[in-house]
Amino acid sequence: MDGLRDPGGALFYAITQAWAMFNSPSFSGQMQYFGSIRQNWSEVSSGVSFDAGEVPVVDEELFVNISFHTWKFTGFGIDTGPANNAQPQAPQGQHWPYKDPSSCSVYGSGNAMNFVCKSAGTTRYANSTRGCLQTYWDASTGSYSMTPGGPGAPNLPFLPVPSFVSFASSHAICLVGAVFY
Amino acid sequence: MIRHVLWAIGGAVSFWLPIILVFAVERANTNMLIANLMGMVGFSLCWAIRRWVYPQGRQSIWILVGLYFLGPVLLSTATTFANGGFAQIHGWADVRWLLLACVFPPFQFLLAATSGLWPSLLIVTVFLVCTTAMERRQAAV
């Protein structure tokens, strides 16, 4: 470390990278760590310093394969990045379509159904529940039906459901069913 | 009163924080079984501490209140890691529904249910309602 031009920075870089690797999940997948401290990686890894006038600044990226998803570790926060929009794969033999939050527009905008629908995120369970519930949704009347794809009934003032029975039955089926599908 | 509020916050955090951590790690691939179990484990730890620290207290109702009052915000924090929650709030109308969920428990339960957390929330709710009734009965005797 004595030969380093910026031993403090190099040490901090090494510590943050080591911390990130040490604290990474032990299962397989891909994690991507990105050192936010600008430091020439060769100085850190080899201990050889450069004396080339202009400081060579390289944004080094260290990749560690772990099978879960991709994180971008900045040292001061986690950039959830594009992996946040990753869609889970629909399993074989699914009984209803998977729907992502963009499908929540069938409920209209700014209402309670739309809010609940899109708040669940893009987990496999949420996509499955959303797909199931929307097969019971009758967009023409803005209400849930008793059968998939069946006709609905007029709205109630607060929640756009025709009756508590059809609302509860469709949710009971889909919330439990999504556990398995 | 401060003690009650602290129990409410502690109960909510003990249940929702492990779920937030599971969502933070697994994100779109979150396993709901693990998330539900972690919430239950967190709540169990809180309950064990409560029985140890404050065995004769009537804190169940406050923990239940905290669980539902802070639930929408903490649940949204969790689902944000899966492109839901705060990531899907695009206007004051959504903020309004989020705040309504804080004071309208059925709405909060619906939010948790569509996120896949209905089993653990249902169990904890039933448990706390039962213990609240027991504590009231014991206090009346």
Contacts of A115 in chain B (CB under 8 A): 93-94, 97-98
Q: Where are the domains of chain A?
A: 7-85, 101-180
Q: How confident is the model at residue A10 (pLDDT cuts 50, 70, 90)?
A: low
pLDDT of residue A75: 34
Q: How confident is the model at residue B61 (pLDDT cuts 50, 70, 90)?
A: very high
Whether residue A173 is predicted with pLDDT greater than 50 in this model: the reply is yes
With cut-offs at 50, 70 and 90, classify the pLDDT of residue A6.
low
Evaluate if residue A32 carries a pLDDT over 60. Answer: no
Q: If you average pLDDT over every residue of chain A, what do you get?
A: 63
pLDDT reported for residue A138: 87
Shortest Cα–Cα distance, B138 to chain A (Å): 35
pLDDT above 70 coverage of chain B, percent: 100
Name residue A141's amino acid: T
- What is the identity of the amino acid at A63? F
Q: Per-residue pLDDT for A27 more than 50?
A: no
Q: Look at A94-108, B40-54, B104-118 and tell me which has the smallest mean pLDDT.
A: A94-108
User: What does the pLDDT read at residue A31?
Assistant: 36
pLDDT of residue A95: 75
Task: List chain A residues with CB under 8 Å of B103.
Answer: none
Q: Is B32 within 8 Å of A171 when comparing Cβ atoms?
A: no
Q: Which residues contact B134 (CB under 8 A, 6 or more apart)?
A: none
- Give tens-digit pLDDT for A59-94: 433 333 333 333 333 333 334 444 444 444 555 566
Q: What's the gap in Å between the CA of A63 and the closest CA on chain B?
A: 17
pTM above 0.80, yes or no: no
Give the pLDDT confidence score for residue A166 in this predicted structure: 85
- The string of pLDDT tens digits covering residues B75-133 is 999 999 999 999 999 999 999 999 999 999 999 999 999 999 999 999 999 999 999 99
> Contact B97/A115, CB-based, under 8 Å?
yes
Q: Is A147 on the interface with B (CB under 8 A)?
A: no
The predicted pLDDT at position A99 comes to 94
Summarised one tens digit per residue, pLDDT across range A108-156 is 988 999 999 999 999 999 999 999 999 999 888 888 888 888 777 655 5
pLDDT band (50, 70, 90) for residue A28: very low
